[in-house]
Amino acid sequence: MLKNLKIEWMKIRNYRVFQVFSVLYMLGILIIIFIFYKVYISLISELQRSVTGVKSEASDILGVFSTNNLPYTVVFWTSLLLYLPGMIIISLFINEVNFKTHRQNIIDGWKRETFILTKISLIACMSVAIMAMNFLAMVIMSQIVHVPITIDAAIVSLLSFMQAFVYLMFALFLATFFRKSGVAIIVYFIYGLLLEWLLWWLVAKINPSLPYFLPLQSSDSLVPFSSFKELYEHLPSTGVLLGVVCGYALLFVILTIRKYKYDDL
């Protein structure tokens, strides 16, 4: 598998879409958190000035960047950017379909399972990279706000790995299902940004806890915005959510392998 991943890296390292979206994602992680931090501190400063009548240095009165909450705050905001690596996965797969590279791999002796398992292994590697970037962002923000990094940062980073893996596996499943990058990307965005929220509203009427068991929402709920816990009144335990997320990850893996294995090339 390591040899196959090296071949995969040789395919994508000079691919312009991969380069552009990777740079955008890495820059976006720091930019989105820093912008939130500046806006948050500015609002707190204005609030304190309106109450006391004195302009003073703002303090983190909501504890958004406290030692315990900082890792959750970082991953909550960086998760908004997970659609970028998802688009990379869709584009990479569809690009191989369009240029018949996947057929050539099979002609060269690869099994269908080998090809798609290599793609899934690439997703695992990208999820590790996302986890590492999240941890680095936590370290940088801890220096900016002058709070220590604890073991919670490592735990939340590991949870962000599962979150990223589910998002990217969902993207790969859509790519294998639709075989058209435009359609797959549109469905990816519509489901994540619109349809799942509509489903949230519908299933919440049945049981307030059910929305947390939706595919993408379950992974998002692993790392909630913990400074506003009242928004997560019916949130299941982390252990339950982790089991659900692992189940969805396995489901997407099985469906993707089965779809690619039995589809026409």
Q: Domain coordinates of the chain in residue numbers?
A: 2-33+66-262
Give which of 159, 170, 197 is closest to 74, Cα–Cα.
159
pLDDT in tens, 209-218: 899 999 999 9
This prediction's pTM? 0.90
Q: What one-character DSSP code corresponds to residue 214? A: S
Whether pLDDT at 61 is above 90: no
Q: Give residue 125's pLDDT band: very low, low, confident or very high (50, 70, 90).
A: very high
pLDDT value, residue 181: 86
Whether pLDDT at 111 is above 80: no
Q: How far apart are CA 259 and CA 68, in angstroms?
A: 42
pLDDT value, residue 154: 94
Helix H or strand E segment including 215: helix 215-220
pLDDT value, residue 11: 74
- For the chain, the 3-state helix, strand and coil shares in percent, each to the nearest 5, are 80, 0, 20
Burial class (CB within 10 angstroms; exposed 0-12, middle 13-18, buried 19+) of 112: middle
Q: How far apart are CA 85 and CA 228, in angstroms?
A: 28
Q: Which alpha helices (DSSP H) does 53-108 contain, by range?
A: 70-78, 83-98, 101-107
Whether pLDDT at 35 is above 70: yes
CA distances from 76 to 58, 216, 255 (A): 22, 13, 28
pLDDT in tens, 212-243: 999 999 999 999 886 666 667 788 888 999 99
CB distance 116 to 260 below 8 Å: yes
CA distances from 219 to 64, 86, 212, 247 (A): 21, 15, 9, 11
CB distance 202 to 220 below 8 Å: no
pLDDT in tens, 169-209: 999 999 999 988 899 999 999 999 999 999 999 998 898 88
CB neighbours of 63 closer than 8 A, spacing ≥ 6? 69, 227
pLDDT value, residue 107: 63
Q: Give residue 12's pLDDT band: very low, low, confident or very high (50, 70, 90).
A: confident
Q: How far apart are CA 24 and CA 138, in angstroms?
A: 18
